[in-house]
Copies of this chain bind each other. A is one copy, B any other.
Amino acid sequence: MTAGSASGPAVEPTAPTTHASEPSREPRIEARTLKGFSDHLPESAARREWIMATLRKVFSGWGYMPLETPAVEYADVLLGRYGAEAEKLIYRFPDMGGRDVALRYDQTVPFARVIAQYRDLPRPFRRYQFQRVWRGENTGRGREREFTQCDVDVAGSPGVIADAETLCIAAAGFQAIGFERVRVVVNDRTTFDELGLSKGDIITIDKLSKIGEVGVINELARSGHDEADARELLGRLQDAPPPPRLKQVIAAAHDLGIDPGSLVYDPTLARGLDYYTSTILEVVSPDYASGSLGGGGRYDQLIGRFTGRDVPAVGFSFGLERVSDALASIGGLDHVHASPDAVVIPMSTSTLHWAGKVAAAIRAAGRTVAVGTEPDRPLGRQLEGATKLHARFAVIVGEDEASAGTATVRNLSTRDQLTLPLSEVPTRLA
Contact = CB atoms under 8 A, between A and B. Distances in A.
Interface of A: 3, 7-13, 15-24, 26, 28-34, 37-42, 44-46, 48-49, 53, 56, 60-63, 65-74, 76-77, 80, 88-89, 91, 93-96, 99, 101, 103, 113-114, 116-124, 126-127, 132, 134, 136, 145-146, 154, 156-159, 161-162, 165, 252, 254-257, 300-301, 304-312, 338-340, 343, 349, 352-353, 355-357, 359-360, 363, 367-375, 385, 388-390
Contacts of A159: 373-374
A360 B46 CA distance: 29
Given A23-B304, A62-B370, 9 more contacts: A17-B158, A19-B312, A21-B301, A24-B308, A34-B70, A37-B73, A39-B67, A61-B367, A126-B370
Nearest to A309: B20
Contacts of A119: 10-13
A132 B359 CA distance: 32
A311 B12 CA distance: 13
Contact of A122 (B69, B165, B385): B385
A368 B68 contact: no
Contact of A63 (B66, B156, B301, B369): B369
B117 A31 contact: yes
A70 B306 CA distance: 30
26 contacts: A8-B120, A10-B118, A10-B119, A15-B156, A17-B124, A24-B304, A28-B308, A32-B113, A32-B117, A33-B74, A37-B73, A39-B70, A45-B66, A46-B65, A62-B370, A63-B369, A70-B146, A72-B145, A89-B96, A93-B93, A124-B385, A126-B370, A252-B349, A255-B352, A257-B356, A257-B359
A368 B60 contact: yes
Contacts of A45: 65-68
A237 B307 CA distance: 61
A370 B217 CA distance: 44
A390 B120 CA distance: 13
Given A123-B18, A363-B61, A370-B62, A67 B38 contact: no
Contacts of A32: 74, 77, 113, 117
Nearest to A2: B68
A56 B49 contact: yes
A301 B8 contact: no
A175 B69 CA distance: 29
8 A-B pairs with the lowest CB-CB distances in the bound complex, closest first: A63-B370, A15-B123, A42-B65, A93-B93, A37-B70, A45-B66, A31-B116, A40-B68
A159 to B, nearest CB: 5
Contact of A34 (B33, B73, B359, B360): B73
A365 to B, nearest CB: 10
A398 to B, nearest CB: 15
Contacts of A65: 42, 45-46, 338-340
A375 B161 contact: yes
A21 B256 contact: no
The CB with the most chain B CB atoms within 10 A, among A7, A19, A99, A252, is that of A19
A174 B39 CA distance: 28
Given A19-B312, A76-B29, A96-B136, A67 B91 contact: no
A377 to B, nearest CB: 10
Contact of A117 (B33, B123, B370): B33
